[in-house]
Amino acid sequence: MSKKEKFYEYKKIKVKGAFHHLFRGSVNENWKHHNSEGPAIEPVDPEDRSIPKKYYFHGIEKTYDEFNEFQQSKEGLPWYKNPSMKAVARF
């Protein structure tokens, strides 16, 4: 039985009072800011206004309006909440 391959890696790290959501695909060597659920850079303390929230998709910065439009265009459940994606195929 072979070890399951990872197609991506995800990290959430804390740097200078902010959480950074990072993503790296299997073909990329570099980490990129990415978070499809919310801001990729967000302050640890939600009341802290010195660190602005920033939205990124695969390393490309987006405005809040672009992020909001993306969220509204989604249909159905995310892949990680879909029960059919949790089933393991046995051959």
Number of C-beta neighbours around residue 66 at 10 A: 13
Sign of CA dihedral 10, 13, 18, 19: positive
Question: What's the number of domains the chain is made of?
Answer: 1
Per-residue pLDDT at 40: 95
Q: Determine the average pLDDT of the residues in 19-48.
A: 89
Detail the DSSP E strand segments found in the chain.
Answer: 8-15, 18-25, 32-33, 41-43, 55-57, 60-62
pLDDT at 46 > cutoff 80:
yes
Per-residue pLDDT at 2: 47
17 falls within a domain: yes
Q: Is the pTM of this model over 0.75?
A: no
First-to-last C-alpha distance (Å) of the chain: 11
46 falls within a domain: yes
Per-residue pLDDT at 70: 86
52 falls within a domain: yes
82 falls within a domain: yes
Lowest mean pLDDT among 10-14, 70-74, 82-86: 82-86
Q: Determine the average pLDDT of the residues in 12-31.
A: 89
Q: Determine the average pLDDT of the residues in 84-89.
A: 59
